[in-house]
C-alpha cells in the first residue's frame, strides 16, 4: 500500500522492519523504537483500507482505548499511538513467540501440563479484566489471540471488539449483531445478546477444550446452531482419556449453556491452581518457554530498567526508578527528559494526576526549548497529554 512499507519511520520514531501480519483490517509490522531502543509491534490502518472499511479504524481506536485502561502481565501492553499521513497506528509490545493456535496446528493438541500452565495465565488476565470497576469483556477469545512471549508468558491480544458495558467506550456494533469467531463464541453471543464476563469464560472453555482435544467443542456445519444452543459437547475424556477428570469437569462447566451455571474467571484460576497441587494427582511437569530466538539484550540503563518495571505493571517501583534515573542525567539532556517523561507516565498511572499534569506542562516546555517542537520525544510527550485529556 502506498507510503507504508518496510523502512518507513512513523512519527520520526518507529521504524517498520518486517511485515508480520496482514488482513482486511490492516497490517502489523515488527518495528524498532529508536528512542527506547526496543523492538515493538506496530498495528496500522492505511487510508485506503479506512476508506473502504470504517470498522477497521473503529476497531483499532477501540483496541487503543481498551488497552490504555489495562496493565497486567498477561495482557499485551500498548506503548503509543499516532497518525502518519492519514495512517492511524498503535505501537505495542512485540511478542516473539507463537500463538496458541500455531501450537495447536503444529502438534494437534497440547500436553495436560501445558494446558494448565497456559490456561492459568489466561485465567489471571481475564480475572483482572472482569474485576475492573467497569469490567472489560474481550468477546473474541480464541487460540490465535493468545500469544506467547519468549519467556513462556501468555498474553491476551486483539481487543478490537472488546466492550466495557456501562462505560462511555463508544459502541460500533449494535446489540443484536452476531460478532466474534463462531466456533469459540458463547450461545448468548450467537443469538446476538449482550456479552458479559460469562461469555468470555465460555470462549475460554472452548479454547481449553481445543487445546486438550485438537478442536473446538462444536465444529462449524449445517446444524451448528442447534448443537451450540442445545447439545452438550463430547466429553474431553472421549478424545483424551489421560486428562484428569477434575480438569475435564472444569472445562465442561465453563461450556454450560446458561451463564449462571458457568464459573467465574477467578474460580477457573483457583481451580486450575488446585489441579496441579499434590494430592489431586501427580504434579505435571511445568513446561519451559517455547523454543524461539531470544531477543538481543537491552542496553544497561536505569531508564530501560524503569521502563520494564512500568510495562510489567510495577508502577510504584517504576516511578521511583525513573526519578533515580533522572537524577543521574545532566539536566535538559534527551536522557533527562526521557526519564522525566517516564516519571510523568508512572505518576499518572498511580493516580497522581495533578502532580503528573504539573510535571507534564513543565516537561513540554523543556522539551520544546531543548529538542525543538518536531523532535520525536517532544511529540511523544505532547501526544501523551492529548490522550490523557481525552480520557477525562
Contact 109, 240 (CB under 8 A): yes
| DSSP structure string for 152-207 | S-EEE---TT-B-TTS-PPP-S-TT---S-GGG--HHHHTTPPP-HHHHHHHHHHH
140 is catalytic: yes
d(C-alpha 77, C-alpha 311), whole Å: 7
With b meaning 16 or more CB within 10 Å and e meaning fewer, what string describes 135-174? bbbbbbbbbbbbbbbbebbbbbbbbbbbbbeebeeeeebe
d(C-alpha 188, C-alpha 230), whole Å: 12
Written in H, E and C, the secondary structure of 88-127 is: EEEEEECCCCCEHHHHHHHHCCCCHHHHHHHHHHHHHHHH
Which grid coordinates are listed for 257? 449453556
d(C-alpha 64, C-alpha 70), whole Å: 10
Query: How far, in Å, are 214, 219, 390 from residue 108 at the CA level?
Result: 5, 15, 46
Query: How far, in Å, are 135, 174, 263, 331 from residue 337 at the CA level?
Result: 35, 44, 48, 8
**Closest listed residue to residue 387, CA positions, set 363, 350, 360:** 360
Q: Which of 33, 80, 99, 140 is catalytic?
A: 140
d(C-alpha 382, C-alpha 359), whole Å: 12
Q: Which residues have a catalytic role annotated?
A: 140
Amino acid at each position: 500500500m502506498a507510503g507504508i512499507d518496510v523502512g518507513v519511520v512513523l512519527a520520526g520514531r518507529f521504524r517498520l522492519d518486517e511485515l508480520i501480519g496482514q488482513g482486511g483490517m490492516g497490517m502489523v509490522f515488527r518495528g524498532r523504537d529508536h528512542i527506547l531502543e526496543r523492538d515493538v509491534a506496530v498495528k496500522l490502518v492505511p487510508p485506503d483500507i479506512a476508506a473502504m472499511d470504517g470498522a477497521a479504524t473503529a476497531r483499532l481506536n477501540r483496541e487503543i482505548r481498551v488497552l490504555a485502561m489495562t496493565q497486567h502481565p498477561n495482557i499485551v501492553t500498548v506503548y503509543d499511538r499516532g497518525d502518519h499521513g492519514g495512517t492511524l497506528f498503535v505501537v505495542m509490545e512485540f511478542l516473539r513467540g507463537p500463538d496458541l493456535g500455531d501450537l495447536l496446528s503444529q502438534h494437534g493438541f497440547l500436553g495436560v501440563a501445558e494446558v494448565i500452565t497456559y490456561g492459568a495465565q489466561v485465567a489471571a488476565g481475564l480475572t483482572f479484566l472482569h474485576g475492573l470497576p467497569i469490567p472489560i469483556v474481550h468477546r473474541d477469545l480464541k487460540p490465535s489471540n493468545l500469544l506467547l512471549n519468549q519467556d513462556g508468558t501468555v498474553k491476551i491480544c486483539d481487543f478490537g471488539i472488546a466492550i466495557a458495558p456501562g462505560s462511555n467506550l463508544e459502541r460500533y456494533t449494535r446489540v443484536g449483531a452476531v460478532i466474534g469467531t463462531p466456533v469459540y463464541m458463547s450461545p448468548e453471543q450467537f443469538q446476538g445478546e449482550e456479552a458479559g464476563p460469562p461469555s468470555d469464560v465460555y470462549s475460554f472453555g472452548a479454547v481449553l477444550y481445543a487445546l486438550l482435544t485438537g478442536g473446538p467443542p462444536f465444529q462449524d456445519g449445517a446444524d451448528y446452531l442447534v448443537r451450540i444452543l442445545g447439545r452438550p459437547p463430547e466429553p474431553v475424556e472421549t478424545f483424551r482419556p489421560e486428562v484428569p477428570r477434575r480438569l475435564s469437569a472444569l472445562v465442561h462447566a465453563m461450556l454450560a449453556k446458561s451463564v449462571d451455571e458457568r464459573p467465574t474467571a477467578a474460580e477457573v484460576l483457583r481451580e486450575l491452581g488446585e489441579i496441579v497441587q499434590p494430592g489431586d494427582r501427580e504434579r505435571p511437569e511445568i513446561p519451559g518457554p517455547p523454543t524461539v530466538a531470544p531477543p538481543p539484550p537491552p542496553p544497561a540503563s536505569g531508564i530501560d530498567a524503569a521502563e520494564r518495571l512500568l510495562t510489567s505493571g510495577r508502577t510504584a517501583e517504576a516511578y521511583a526508578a525513573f526519578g533515580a534515573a533522572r537524577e543521574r542525567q545532566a539536566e535538559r539532556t534527551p536522557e533527562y527528559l526521557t526519564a522525566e517523561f517516564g516519571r510523568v507516565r508512572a505518576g499518572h498511572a498511580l493516580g497522581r494526576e495533578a502532580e503528573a499534569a504539573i510535571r507534564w506542562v513543565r516537561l513540554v516546555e523543556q522539551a520544546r526549548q531543548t529538542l525543538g517542537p518536531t523532535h520525536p520525544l517532544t511529540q511523544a510527550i505532547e501526544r501523551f497529554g492529548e490522550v490523557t485529556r481525552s480520557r477525562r
